[in-house]
């Protein structure tokens, strides 16, 4: 595949379209004092996103009409959650979760 000028401009345009909506809100809000209610509401967003990702992976919806638990993920989730609560370290939690999931997949 050859790289043409059109292709380079297309990649630059796609990067800008992806990057700008993520950066512009920070530029506008940087010098604005937000009300305490808004700050409290915004503080729940990371927890909600993480919870949605975890719950989505814990449930197996592909096996048929009934939603069931994805047991390998559940077996990995419990010790990883305990490690997260005890260490309160994102990097330790992620590394432990990856190692635990690798062990679960290896032995199951």
pTM for the full predicted model? 0.60
DSSP letters spanning 15-40: HHHHHHHHHHHHHHHTTS---HHHHH
Contact call for residues 67 and 60 (beta carbons, < 8 A): yes
Q: How far is CA 19 from the centre of its chain?
A: 18
Task: Give pLDDT tens digits for 18-74.
Answer: 999 889 888 888 888 889 998 899 889 888 888 888 888 888 877 667 788 889 999
Element (H or E) spanning 60, and its range?
Answer: strand 59-60
């Amino acid at each position: 595949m050859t790289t043409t000028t059109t292709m380079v401009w297309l990649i630059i345009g796609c990067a800008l379209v992806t990057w700008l909506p993520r950066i512009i809100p920070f530029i506008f809000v940087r010098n604005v004092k937000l009300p305490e209610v808004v700050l409290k509401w915004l503080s729940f967003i990371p927890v909600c996103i993480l919870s949605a990702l975890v719950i989505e992976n814990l449930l197996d919806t592909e096996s048929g009409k009934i939603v069931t638990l994805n047991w390998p993920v559940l077996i990995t989730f419990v010790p990883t959650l305990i490690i997260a609560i005890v260490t309160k370290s994102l990097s330790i939690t992620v590394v432990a979760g990856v190692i635990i999931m690798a062990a679960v997949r290896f032995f199951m």
